[in-house]
Structure 1
Amino acid sequence: MASKQRARRWTVLACLVIVAVQGVLLATLTLRDGAGSPHDVPILISAPAVVSSALADETGAMPGSPVDAGWTDDEDEARQAVRDGTVVAAVLVDLRETTDVVLVNARADDDLNEAVVDQISSVEATHERSVKVQEVAGSGSDGAADRVRLFAVLCGLVGFGFVLVVSLVRGPVARTAGMGVVRVLSLGAVSLAGAALLQLLPATSLGDGTFAVLGLGALYAFTLGAIALAVEALAGLVGLVAVAAAYFILATPLLAGTSPYLLPAPWPVVSPWTPTGATQQALADTAYFDAGRALQPTLVLAAAALLAVVALVLSRGLRDRGLDLGASGDPVVAMPVRHWRLWVVGALLPLALVLGLVIAFVPTQVVAAGALPSVASETTCVDHGGRPRNVAQLNKQIATMQGSPAFQGGDVGADVQLADGRFLVVFGDTLRSDDFDGPRFARNSMMLWDTDCVSVVLPPSQGALIPDRLDGVGYWPMSTGVAHRPGYDLVLVSTQRVKATGTGSFDFANLGPALAVFVVRDGETPQLIDVGDIGDDDKQRSRPTWGAAMAVDDNWLYLYGTANPDQEGVFGFSLHVARVRPDDVIEPSKWRFWDGTSWQRDASRSAELVPAVGGVSQTLSVFHRGERWYALSKRDGDLGHEMVFWTAPAPTGPFTPTDPVASLPSDPTTGAVTYMPLAHAEVFPAKGTVVASYSNNNIDPQKVMKDPTLYRPTFLRVPLPD
Structure 2
Amino acid sequence: MKRFAMFCICLCTALSQSIAQKKAVNLTDVKFTVAEAPEWSALLKRNSGWFGGDGIYTIPMNGVEGKYTGPNSKTLFIFSDSMVGEIRENTLMPGYRMIHNSAAVLNGNKPVTGNMKFYWNTDEKNGAESLFVPATPKADSTDYYWLGDGFVNQANKATYIFGYRVRNMYQGPFGFREVGNTLIKLTPGTNPPYKANKQMDTPFYLTDGKDDIGSYGAAVYVNTKAAGAATPDGYIYIYGVRGLAKNLYAARVLPTDFENFKKWRFWDGKAWVAEIDKAAVLTTGVSNELSISALPDGRYALVFQQNGMSTTVGMRIGASPIGPFGPIIKLWDCQPDLTEKTFVVYNAKAHPTLSKPGELIISYNINSVEFDKDLKKHPNLYRPRFIRVKFN
Q: Same fold (TM over 0.5)?
A: yes
In structure 2, the residue corresponding to 1:480 is in which secondary structure?
strand
List aligned pairs for 1:467-546, cutoff 5 A.
467-468=133-134, 469-484=139-154, 489-521=157-189, 525=192, 527=194, 528-535=196-203, 538=207, 540=210, 542-546=212-216
Deviations 1:158-215 (A, max 9, x none): xxxxxxxxxxxxxxxxxxxxxxxxxxxxxxxxxxxxxxxxxxxxxxxxxxxxxxxxxx
List aligned pairs for 1:321-470, cutoff 5 A.
391-399=37-45, 401=46, 403-405=47-49, 407-419=50-62, 421-433=73-85, 440-451=97-108, 453-459=115-121, 461=123, 462-468=128-134, 469-470=139-140
- Give yes or no for the alignment of 1:652 onto 2:322: yes
List aligned pairs for 1:46-61, cutoff 5 A.
none
For the 8 Å contact 1:504–1:700, the answer to whether it is kept is no
For the 8 Å contact 1:694–1:715, the answer to whether it is kept is yes
1:474 CA drift (Å) = 0.8
Change (3 A) 1:439 1:463: farther
- Give yes or no for the alignment of 1:603 onto 2:276: yes
Alignment partners' CA distance in 2, 1:585 and 1:708: 40
Change (3 A) 1:625 1:668: closer
For the 8 Å contact 2:55–2:289, the answer to whether it is kept is no
Aligned-partner residue type, residue 351 of structure 2: H
1:603 CA drift (Å) = 0.5
Deviates more, 1:554-563 or 1:466-475: 466-475
Q: Alignment length, in residue pairs?
A: 314
Change (3 A) 1:521 1:657: farther
Aligned-partner residue type, residue 277 of structure 2: S
Deviations 1:667-711 (A, max 9, x none): 595311111101111113231x21101001111122354243110
For the 8 Å contact 1:505–1:700, the answer to whether it is kept is yes
Aligned-partner residue type, residue 57 of structure 2: A
Aligned-partner residue type, residue 344 of structure 2: V
1:518 CA drift (Å) = 2.0
Aligned-partner residue type, residue 517 of structure 1: K
For the 8 Å contact 2:52–2:383, the answer to whether it is kept is yes
- Of the candidates 238, 241, 246, which is equivalent to residue 559 of structure 1? 238
1:520 CA drift (Å) = 4.5
Regions of 4+ moved over 6 Å: none
Change (3 A) 1:543 1:588: farther
Whichever structure has more strand as a proportion of its residues is: 2
Q: Aligned-pair RMSD on alpha carbons?
A: 2.9
Alignment partners' CA distance in 2, 1:478 and 1:530: 16
Alignment partners' CA distance in 1, 2:256 and 2:129: 28
For the 8 Å contact 1:519–1:526, the answer to whether it is kept is no
Whichever structure has more helix as a proportion of its residues is: 1
For the 8 Å contact 1:482–1:490, the answer to whether it is kept is yes
1:719 CA drift (Å) = 3.9
In structure 2, the residue corresponding to 1:710 is in which secondary structure?
coil
| Map of 2:349 onto structure 1 | 678
In structure 2, the residue corresponding to 1:497 is in which secondary structure?
strand
For the 8 Å contact 2:219–2:239, the answer to whether it is kept is yes
For the 8 Å contact 2:60–2:151, the answer to whether it is kept is no
Alignment partners' CA distance in 2, 1:656 and 1:537: 26
Aligned-partner residue type, residue 241 of structure 2: T
1:479 CA drift (Å) = 1.8
- Give yes or no for the alignment of 1:637 onto 2:308: yes
| Map of 2:250 onto structure 1 | 577
| Map of 2:383 onto structure 1 | 712
Alignment partners' CA distance in 2, 1:679 and 1:494: 18
Alignment partners' CA distance in 1, 2:171 and 2:144: 15
Deviations 1:581-617 (A, max 9, x none): 234333221111111121110011111111x3xx211
Aligned-partner residue type, residue 475 of structure 1: Y
- Of the candidates 674, 694, 710, which is equivalent to residue 364 of structure 2? 694
In structure 1, the residue corresponding to 2:277 is in which secondary structure?
helix
Aligned-partner residue type, residue 236 of structure 2: L
1:663 CA drift (Å) = 1.3
Aligned-partner residue type, residue 120 of structure 2: L
Alignment partners' CA distance in 2, 1:514 and 1:704: 32
For the 8 Å contact 1:448–1:455, the answer to whether it is kept is yes
For the 8 Å contact 2:121–2:193, the answer to whether it is kept is no
Q: Which is greater in Rg?
A: 1
Aligned-partner residue type, residue 60 of structure 2: Q
In structure 1, the residue corresponding to 2:289 is in which secondary structure?
coil
| Map of 2:332 onto structure 1 | 662
Deviations 1:120-147 (A, max 9, x none): xxxxxxxxxxxxxxxxxxxxxxxxxxxx
In structure 2, the residue corresponding to 1:702 is in which secondary structure?
helix
Structure 2 gaps of 5+ residues are 1-35, 63-71, 88-92, 109-113, 225-233
Deviations 1:627-651 (A, max 9, x none): 322210122221x332211121211
Aligned-partner residue type, residue 651 of structure 1: P
Alignment partners' CA distance in 2, 1:681 and 1:699: 30
For the 8 Å contact 1:544–1:576, the answer to whether it is kept is no
Change (3 A) 1:636 1:704: same
